[in-house]
Amino acid sequence: MRKVTTLMQILLIHGRKFPEEELQDWGFNGTPINDVEYIHMTYFSTFTIGFRTHKACELAREQTGWATFDDRVLEVSREHDLVRTKEGYFGDWEIQPMPGSDDVYEPKKTHRNDACLL
């Protein structure tokens, strides 16, 4: 049986320019981070994002400024309880299917324990 999945994107929400900024409203939304294959968290301290292709990973690195963690994987940069990117600091983030992404593909094995992701 072939396992398939839909491409995902990360949405960054409740943005601000400085971490200590007091928001008078909901803040701004960041640019979506596309072609996400998986998210991995270690002990609530390290968050890594795996991408479908090297190109998608490089585009996300340029967009966010996040450090390369592994092949096609970036480590999310955080400050206090906020996600940090080149655009600003974000209090919320979520993952959802990319708009118009009816494409399905066979997932790759992770860099961790060779578990296959859905």
Inter-CA distances, 58 with 52, 62, 63, 85, 110, Å: 11, 6, 9, 14, 18
Query: Distance between CA 18 and CA 3 in Å, rounded?
Result: 42
Q: How many alpha carbons lie under 13 Å from residue 4 in its C-beta half-sphere?
A: 8
- How confident is the chain (118 residues) per 10-residue block, as mean pLDDT? 69 94 91 93 89 94 95 93 95 88 54 44
Q: What is the pLDDT of residue 83?
A: 95
What global pTM score does this model have?
0.78
Query: Distance between CA 98 and CA 82 in Å, rounded?
Result: 23
* Close Cβ partners of 65 (under 8 Å, ≥ 6 residues apart): 77, 84, 85, 86
